[in-house]
Amino acid sequence: METPKIIVPPLLFVRDLLLGKEVAKSSRKLSDLKNLFLDQKSYEAMDPETLLYEVYSYIPVQDDAANGALNFGITHIYPGKVGQEYFMTKGHFHAQDDRTEYYWGIEGEGVLILMDRKRNIRGEKMFPGSLHYIPGGVAHRVANTGNKVLSFAACWPSDAGHDYEEIARTGFSARLMDVDGIPQLI
Ligand code: PAN
Ligand code: ZN
């Protein structure tokens, strides 16, 4: 038997940062969320290069069918609005409908929008320390309602997959809008 070793893990989660050689980063700009915001006029008037959010993810098993593996990610959503609608993630159902997920708030404030297959919708406030269980068959999207970056972590099964099509086609049944300074699902 080899001498057992104690190592420094290759992954660090410090405040709202996910650090490590194997961490992948992806960014979404306004142009990536075409037709997802209500106010088309305001959308067209904005710079399509505007950065909406970034995702840092760690995918330990590079196999979409990896039964039992878990992915981990941190999302940073920038503050802002398109018209009266807050900057938000695209939102998705998991391709494997029964796959669940945890989200938890790290910095900033926002709302997690959850919609089931019958299009029943509800919101959960996100703030540092808020913990959110996303059941299977529930589409999830996050909107930043504050004036600084909203950061949250996520942990989901590696074989969940992301179905963005359904949301692109039929949208969520309500939007998170600023109504006289108050975030409301309408
Ligand atoms: C998250 C999301 C991330 C970005 O890691 O993928 O917050 O949101 P969109 O994927 O909707 O653009 C997750 O829910 N993974 O399953
Ligand atoms: Zn998800």
Residue 83 Ramachandran class (φ > 0 left, ψ -120 to 50 alpha, else beta): left
Considering every ligand atom, which ligand is closest to the CA of 74? 1
27, exposed or middle or buried, with CB in 10 Å at 0-12, 13-18, 19+? exposed
Query: What's the CA-to-centroid distance between 5 and ligand 1, angstroms?
Result: 35
- Test site for ligand 1: of 34, 156, 165, most ligand atoms within 8 A of the Cβ: 156
The reported pTM is 0.97
Query: pLDDT per residue over 82-123, tens digit each?
Result: 999 999 999 999 999 999 999 999 999 999 999 999 999 999
